[in-house]
Structure 1
Amino acid sequence: MKERRRTHGVLGAVAVASVLALSLAGCRGSANEGGGGGGSAASPGITDTTITLGITTPLSGATAGPGTCTVAGAKAYFGAKNAEGGIKFGDGKTRKVEIKTYDDGYDPQKSLANFQQMVSDNVFAEGIGLGTPTNRAFREAAISQKVPQILVMTGDPLFSDQKQSPWQLGLVPIYQNEGEAFGKLVAASGGAHKVAILSQNDDYGKGYVQGFKDAIKGNSSITVVGEQTYEATDTSVDAQLTQLAATGADVFFNAMSITPLVIASLQKAQQIGWKPSWFLPSNTSSPTAILQPGGATAYPGVYTVAFAKAPQSPEFAKDEDVVKFLSDLKQYGNYSDTPAFPHCMWSYIAGATLEKAFGSMTDPTRDSFMKALRNIKGLEAPLMLKGTSVDTTKDGQPAISTVLVQKYNGKGYATSSTFG
């Protein structure tokens, strides 16, 4: 590519310049320029010694609790790895992982601006951040600029569709998977149940409801007797709860993502004397941050789904994974309390998943990374419950698609295969 030839005349000079430009573009391929080694020109954000990841997530506002957890868990995992010397990549080099964080306050416009800032900051990939609308806000921009947007904490199936989202991959089970698990549990009970549904009026809520209804379809003993929706910007759902309580439903499927509203819902239902069994999404079912202040023990049962060990549960108090996780979280994640939200554990699992992908990257490029990331199967990452694993090879499914139903016992959760 550096060869220079003597030419005669203006036309000859122009021709050589054109060939040189095309040759340089061909050498870069689909990767962008940046520091690093390997057989291909390195993408931005990776050198011979470091790789930089960006996280946009709510660090302020109503969802700041779980949002802060997403950052803490990732920093805990990679902080511990960096202290050990770094992670060995598939190209033979050992690199430390640097994390840049951006607060979007669960505002799509802010998350889009954050992504644009990440591009200016030369991050290698964006990922792990919480939120469906916030991650959707820059999905198309990430595709256009070929920036990986990976292991995001949204159950939106769009992020795991390789044709529609070639530079994306979700981490947590899609909404339909969780809703289906609840529906199957009720259907398997053998009893007659009346179900009331309150869902967020967006793809989040619709996905949960679809999965639940698909699972109970054809079961005449399970009847949906009332449905209400709310907007993610609402500050109260008292009116909807009052209407649903009037149905006399003994099962309440609450597909809600806003922490304060879940707590208020638990309290309001008690105030009006409605005490059904509850089903809550995995991201809004924290024992300490939601169920305890909501007085969840007043209900015959509160159920959720999980794939990660909960440090609050007595059964995991001395678990080797949990002990190390809590130590790393305090030392490197700047998070001294036992996490009230599962997102701390989820991002720690995401860290292990990324390490697996890094170990298979043969070139310091985003293309090589995405290929490695989509080729992980049967990874039992730290903190994962027995019976669950990371599998990124299924098109249309996120990195984790298996969940276990759990029932609240007043302190934490215990796996439950029966309803009632």
Structure 2
Amino acid sequence: MKTMGVVALGSIVALTLAGCARGGDAGNGDDTGGESAPAASPGITDDAITLGVTTPLSGATAGPGNCTVAGLVAYFGQAGPIEFGDGKTREVKVEAFDDAYDPQKALSNFQQNQANVFAFTAGLGTPTNRAYREAAIEEEVPQALVMTGDPLFSDRDESPWQLGFVPIYQNEGAAFGELLAESGEDHKVAILFQNDDYGKGYVEGFKEAIEGASNIEVVKELSYEATDTSVDAQLTELSASGADVFFNAMSITPLAIASIEKARELSWTPSWFLPSNTSSPGAILTPAAANPEDGFYSVSFAKAPQSPAFAEDEDVKGFLAALEEFSGDYTTKPDFPHCMWSYMVGATLEKTFKSMTEPTRENFMESLTDISGFTAPLMLEGTSIDTTQEGQPAVAAVVVQRFNGKGYENADTFE
């Protein structure tokens, strides 16, 4: 377990856990008019609030996993103590637990630490977040702004204790499909998808968007398991399909790099559609020697520090400075978009905290789900935070972009 206490001005405030059970007496309620204020939930006192993150800090997805903590730590390190809506100023502490992208470890992390943290947030992964979802509902522990596009986490009728942060996978897939269908040109598409809700969600959105588009034909569709160490056989079969577009719904960084390298070995040069979390120029495209002339497309809602277009952007400069100063235990290199996403999560949480009038998990969720039109730092033009939409995560809109050899630029048309 890595633990980062985000402390302003070098002062360390000891954390006193508020009660060991839901609704336990924390001893910090005020007596107003003869009525006691609601007892504080676990993980919050008058001086501090503790957030938990279960995420892959080791293994094949450690790169983006560490970023889910780094941006959060950077944001609260930069922000310092925050004045909540109840008038109390609190230090925000972040505790990170390694689950290595293993659902059983994620569940264990929750079970061992749910009594000590106020809410779980920012953690990466559909299978890992799903692993402790039912337990979080039963224990009434917020699972807020987590890094999964699984629509289950945005179903308010199903549970008031969850909310996803990133766009649902169907939205990303649909953005690709719409761009392709609107090209007006005939295209043959090969699909490789991760055989779980992540991969299937992307494909579902893509297919719905091209339904009725006579210029688009899916000529081959294969799957792989998240535990696979190679997809060479699938790439070989897909390359023989005659497809000029490759929709690669993949979440595993080493396999994404290997896919690009294998396609080059096979002399297959399709245009690529990549999910937002496996499209990093620095961590995937450049190491794989991706040729921008082939056409590599992805979607985003965050400014990419690697892009020359944002070299002088004030948001980006502030983010990079905060990452360098506060996030050394995780990463100071924003090679994955999750670094930027978790920084935005921090800003969204701060806005939530400032609206909280009671130190309870219930009031936290009420405040969190009442945000609309909020432009968090690093957000691209045309995107914003809106937590009020039933069936949608905090971010619903994305912008399709094309890799230009250094970073991404907006792609209004498919070329």
TM-score w.r.t. length of structure 2: 0.92
Which position in structure 1 is the counterpart of 2:414?
Answer: 419
The separation in 1 between residues aligned to 2:103 and 2:25, in whole angstroms, is 29
Note if 1:155 corresponds to 2:153: no
Instruction: Choose the corresponding residue for 2:109, options 94, 107, 114.
Output: 114
Which position in structure 1 is the counterpart of 2:321?
Answer: 327
Alignment of 1:168-207 (within 5 A): 168-207=162-201
Structure 1 58/36 Cα, relative in aligned 2: closer, same or farther at 3 Å?
A: farther
1:105-154 CA-to-partner distances (Å, cap 9, x unmatched) read 0000100010011124x100011010110000000000000000010000
Deviation at 1:31, TM superposition (A): 3.5
Alignment of 1:335-374 (within 5 A): 337-374=332-369
Instruction: Choose the corresponding residue for 2:271, options 272, 277, 281.
Output: 277
Cα pair 2:70 2:332 within 8 Å, conserved: no
Q: Secondary structure at the match of 1:194?
A: strand
Instruction: Choose the corresponding residue for 1:71, options 69, 72, 80.
Output: 69
1:200-224 CA-to-partner distances (Å, cap 9, x unmatched) read 0000011000000000000111000
The separation in 2 between residues aligned to 1:363 and 1:189, in whole angstroms, is 52
Instruction: Choose the corresponding residue for 2:235, options 224, 234, 241.
Output: 241
Cα pair 1:312 1:411 within 8 Å, conserved: yes
Q: Secondary structure at the match of 2:291?
A: helix
Instruction: Choose the corresponding residue for 2:140, options 139, 143, 146.
Output: 146
The separation in 2 between residues aligned to 1:201 and 1:183, in whole angstroms, is 20
Cα pair 1:322 1:383 within 8 Å, conserved: yes
Cα pair 1:55 1:99 within 8 Å, conserved: yes
Q: Secondary structure at the match of 1:379?
A: coil
Q: Where do 5+ consecutive residues of structure 1 fail to align?
A: 1-28
Which position in structure 2 is the counterpart of 1:392?
Answer: 387
The separation in 2 between residues aligned to 1:32 and 1:273, in whole angstroms, is 64
The separation in 2 between residues aligned to 1:247 and 1:105, in whole angstroms, is 35
Q: Secondary structure at the match of 1:66?
A: helix
Cα pair 1:378 1:389 within 8 Å, conserved: yes
Cα pair 2:176 2:400 within 8 Å, conserved: yes
Deviation at 1:276, TM superposition (A): 0.2
Which position in structure 1 is the counterpart of 2:23?
Answer: 31
Instruction: Choose the corresponding residue for 1:408, options 394, 403, 407.
Output: 403
Note if 1:124 corresponds to 2:118: yes
Deviation at 1:30, TM superposition (A): 7.0
Q: Secondary structure at the match of 1:348?
A: helix
Which position in structure 1 is the counterpart of 2:7?
Answer: none
Paired positions, count: 388
Cα pair 2:292 2:403 within 8 Å, conserved: no
AA in 2 matched with 1:63: T
The separation in 2 between residues aligned to 1:36 and 1:415, in whole angstroms, is 51
AA in 1 matched with 2:388: T
AA in 2 matched with 1:118: N
Instruction: Choose the corresponding residue for 2:60, options 51, 59, 62.
Output: 62
1:24-63 CA-to-partner distances (Å, cap 9, x unmatched) read xxxxx97344354462111011111111100010000000
Deviation at 1:394, TM superposition (A): 0.4
Deviation at 1:336, TM superposition (A): 6.5
The separation in 2 between residues aligned to 1:35 and 1:388, in whole angstroms, is 42
Instruction: Choose the corresponding residue for 2:39, options 32, 38, 41.
Output: 41
The separation in 2 between residues aligned to 1:157 and 1:229, in whole angstroms, is 21
The separation in 2 between residues aligned to 1:112 and 1:248, in whole angstroms, is 43
Cα pair 1:311 1:338 within 8 Å, conserved: no
Cα pair 1:45 1:124 within 8 Å, conserved: yes
Q: Where do 5+ consecutive residues of structure 2 fail to align?
A: 1-20, 31-36
Larger helix percent: 1
Q: Secondary structure at the match of 1:199?
A: strand
AA in 1 matched with 2:133: R
The separation in 1 between residues aligned to 2:133 and 2:316, in whole angstroms, is 33
Cα pair 2:75 2:346 within 8 Å, conserved: yes
Cα pair 2:121 2:143 within 8 Å, conserved: yes
The separation in 2 between residues aligned to 1:310 and 1:296, in whole angstroms, is 18
Q: Secondary structure at the match of 1:378?
A: coil
AA in 1 matched with 2:363: S
Cα pair 2:144 2:164 within 8 Å, conserved: yes
1:247-289 CA-to-partner distances (Å, cap 9, x unmatched) read 1100000000000000000000010111100000000000011
Identical positions, percent: 67
Which position in structure 2 is the counterpart of 1:11?
Answer: none
The separation in 1 between residues aligned to 2:134 and 2:383, in whole angstroms, is 31
CA RMSD after TM alignment: 1.3
Cα pair 1:77 1:351 within 8 Å, conserved: yes
Deviation at 1:362, TM superposition (A): 1.1
Q: Secondary structure at the match of 2:373?
A: strand
Note if 1:382 corresponds to 2:377: yes
Deviation at 1:337, TM superposition (A): 4.2
Structure 1 418/298 Cα, relative in aligned 2: closer, same or farther at 3 Å?
A: closer
The separation in 2 between residues aligned to 1:337 and 1:62, in whole angstroms, is 19
Cα pair 2:250 2:274 within 8 Å, conserved: yes
The separation in 1 between residues aligned to 2:292 and 2:411, in whole angstroms, is 19
Deviation at 1:298, TM superposition (A): 5.9
Cα pair 2:25 2:40 within 8 Å, conserved: yes
Structure 1 219/387 Cα, relative in aligned 2: closer, same or farther at 3 Å?
A: same
